Structures are given as C-alpha cells and as structure tokens.
Chain A
C-alpha cells in the first residue's frame, strides 16, 4: 500500500519543457511517418467517438427511421420527438432533480470533509495517525460488492431505503478522496502553516484560510471527478432505490431499457440527456481532465 501512495505521487510530475518533441518521439516525423501517424490516430479517434455520434444521431431519428436498413449515417429527417416523449413523462424532471441533488451534495460534502481529513493526515500529528491511515487505505481496496449487503442491511434498519440520505451520507467522504487530498496537501510547505500559527490563526482557519486556498487545483480535480462518479453511480442506487420517484438518471435509464426494449431512439435520447451535462463539464474543465490525474477512479 505504501507503494500505491508513492506511485500516485509520482503520477503528477512537474511538466518539463521539452525542447523538441519530434526527437523524443519514436516515430520520426518524416512525411510518410507523419501520414501514417495521423491515419492511425484518426481511425482510432473515429472508433472512439463513433458510439457517441451514434447515440446523438439515433436520438434524433423518429420511430420510422432508426430501424432502417441500411442505417442512415446522418439522420435524414432529424426530429426531437424522442426528447418530447421523454419529457412528457411527468417523473423525468424529478429524476434529473434527484441526480442533481445527490451529485451536488456528495461533491460538496467531499470537498469539505475529504479535504479536512486529508489535511489532518498530511499536516497534523496525533497519536494513532499512522495506523488509522493504513486502516483507511487497506479498506479502500475492499470491493464495494463485499460491503454492499451489510450496508444495505444497515440502511434497511435505519429506514433509509428510498431516501436521499442513503445515497449521500455513506458517500460524504470517500476514503479515496481523503487519500488524494492528503497527497495534494502534503506538498504544501510547513513554513506557511507555521507562519499562520505564529500570526495566531486558529487550527481551523489554518485549514480554511491557508491550506484550502493553496490547494484549489487539487480540490477542483477531486470535485469534478467526484461529481462525475456520483452522477454516474449505478450499483448502489440500483440496490437502494425501488420507488419510481426516487430513481436517479442512471437507474431510470436502465429501467427504460426493460420498458422500451426495442425503442432505441427513445433510449438514446435518454442517454443524451444523461451524458450532455457531463460533456459540458468536460469542455468547461478540460484542463483538469487532460493534465493526467485519474481521481475518483477507485470508486466502484
């Protein structure tokens, strides 16, 4: 486990200016090499984006046209009827609301509690710190499938089945986020905290006014990935929600599949509704995604 922490620290190396990328690369960029590189990459990019393209175009095809053979690569008569039909469902708005409430709460709570705990593990010394931290890390390796029934039973006994609580509270401080925030905050120099102490900062304002503002990059990454993981979370909501009103979008979408078995236009429109907020986040916060940190990856 030590090693894992070492590893992930090494994963955010300072970017170095590279004098000439072409020399570093393994494909010497002569004309033939360049053409081949671009051809291969473009083919791979098409393969990668094809499913998304197909989702968008299918969602715009009416009843009559999505089953056409050969399939229309570009919808000949684009229509919004699938979306209209989805939004005609009175609970659709409620599902979006459920997803938004849960994801935003989970993200907010994680930003606060995971950072606070990460800060404590990184910068404060207290008896028991070391073993407490290792219990944390070791438990992180336990697959969710192991803990889900006891958790389910707990929720049943608390009467939390079909509530927001069951989705929000157990996820309020993911151990993985605690671990990552510890890594981020550990990089801050002690001198700054000491200076704050000398100036008479309280322990909490050292965290709130000094450590937190200096870790905004790490917090942004954690927040974004937490939001996405929570928005897309599937297994736990599937187990814990059984009323139609309480469903989150992924669960609603999965139940469409059984209800509208063959109505792929409608299914794909549901997929678009669920994916678009994520795409917007992706384009807005692009630089956090592309800098090479897979936060939130361990949430099963």
Chain B
C-alpha cells in the first residue's frame, strides 16, 4: 500500500549497507538541507513539546519535571473544558456546513457553460485569496452592532439588531459563518473547486447507464455522483477538520480585546475561546508554557484520532 515506487537503480541486493549508502550519496546530499531544516524546526520542537508538557516552565528559568501535573490541572480547569467544547462545536459546525454547501453549489455549477462555471468558481474562491487576516477584519466591521452592514440588512427585513461578536451566545456562530464562507482551506471556495475537478473525472458512461435505467436527477446524484465524490469529500473532511480545529487567526482577530469584555479576549465569557486560543493565552500572555504544551498535545491527539476515525469510517472502497 505504501506508494513509494521502487526503481532499484541504486540498490542492487546483497550489497553491504555502507556500500549502498555510498552509492546513494547524491540522494543524501539532495535531502541534506530539507532534512536539517525539518529536524531542527519540526521534529526537535515536537520532542521538546512532549517534554514541556510534563514540565513546569515559564520561558526563563529551569524546566522542572512535574509528571502529569499539567494534564491533571487541565482536567480540573473549567475554562479548558469550555475551550474544548467550543473547539468541537466549531469543527462540528464549520466542516459539515461548508462541505454540504460546497457540494450543493458544485452540483449547481457543474452543468453550466464554461464561462459561467469559471465566473462562479472565481466568485467563491476570491475571499479565500484575500488573507484570513483581511477577511476577519472585514467581517468584524460588518458585524459591528451599531454601524455594521449586517444589522442594517437584517433591519431591512425586520430582524435584529443582533449583538454578534459582542454577545456570548452569538459570537461563536458569527465566527463560524465567516469561516464557512471565507476560509482559504475549508471555505466554500476551495471545496467547490476541488469537487468540480473530481466531478469532471467521473466517467460519462456511468451517467449514460443511469439514464438508460431511467434514473431521476436525484438518483443520478445519489448513486453516481455522490459515491464517486467520496474520496474527495473524505479528503476535504479530514483536511477541514485538522484546519478548523487549529484555527487561530480568525478567533484572535475577531474576538480579541476590543470587542470583548474579558481581559484576555477569546470572546465575552470565553464564548469563543478555543483550545488553540487558550494555548496562546497560556503561553504568551500568562507564560505557563508547560500548561500550554500539555494543551497542544491534547489537541494533537484529538486531531489525530478524528482524522484516523474519519478515514476508517468513510474511505470504504469505491468501485469505478
């Protein structure tokens, strides 16, 4: 299953390891720099993070081993539980919301003429090109309760006014809505384009067969399009989950100090404090690096578990 092809160009069997290494010296030379970078800036920090998570450390001073004290502290910290709940709620809304909307839009776009397809793809993708920093600030401005665009538009149809980001119940959904539309990774832009590319590669004969069998539009979608998009959807689901659960920028920019009534930001009454945001607070505002590292490890385990689970559950073999 490992997809590394084997051109056994360099490595005839039954040679000594040293000789094989010597014959492949170019390969080692080529990957030397990337491997050095990788070990220094990714792998070593990862090992260090594991160590910090069982230590007490605040940027200066010694790193004291404290066993599982950080994890025990987290388990008893109500804000951490709140952050965990917010994170899961966030992922469980943004990812399926964005994917189902994207699938719907892709199905609508697919039969259109080429120019129309290009136009709509661009219209949906453009927000993803503007940085999440820019997009977060724009949405924050539109969410502004007194002068923002959204309350004005809501007023036109007799709704609101809403408090959006300044309300503990509306803040997180407000950020979610922004993510569904504008996230560069899981937002509708990228997903629609990927789904359309996948739809393009579905063999036409399958639809012909379906039509011969008298399939309705819904049946064509249900029994041909959807099963064959499964691989792409699984990919989007996994990547989307990973990305959404570690989203920081939007939370930080939309709900930090200015619009919230807590000192540390993260929304009114921690309503938008996700694990990632809480990590940031603990590390860089209160300097409890050990705690922050433990949270990061918990987050990593959750993300990994979800990714593996989704993959196992969803990637049933697709027959073309």
Contact = CB atoms under 8 A, between A and B. Distances in A.
A146 B120 CA distance: 38
Interface residues of A, number: 125
B232 interface: yes
B3 A2 contact: yes
A150 B133 contact: no
B198 A127 contact: no
A292 B30 contact: no
Contacts, number: 370
A4 B308 CA distance: 10
A32 interface: no
Contact of A142 (B4, B42, B190): B42
A3 B311 contact: yes
Interface stretch (B17-25, B73-81, B164-172): B17-25
Interface string A174-209: 010010000000100010001000000001100100
Contacts of B185: 294, 297
Nearest to A282: B129
Contacts of A120: 27, 30-31
Given A13-B201, A151-B45, A2 B24 contact: no
A76 to B, nearest CB: 16
Contacts of A90: none
Contacts of B66: none
B69 interface: no
Interface of B: 1-11, 17, 20-21, 24, 26-28, 30-31, 33-35, 37-38, 40-46, 48-49, 52, 59, 105, 107-112, 118-127, 129-135, 137-139, 141-142, 144, 147, 149, 152, 181-182, 184-185, 188-190, 193-194, 196-204, 207-208, 211, 217-218, 220-221, 225, 231-232, 234-235, 238-239, 242-243, 245-246, 248-249, 252-253, 257-258, 276, 279-280, 283-284, 289, 292-293, 296-297, 299-300, 303-304, 307, 311, 315
For the complex of A and B, 5 pairs with smallest distance between CB atoms:
A25-B111, A292-B197, A126-B24, A150-B48, A13-B201
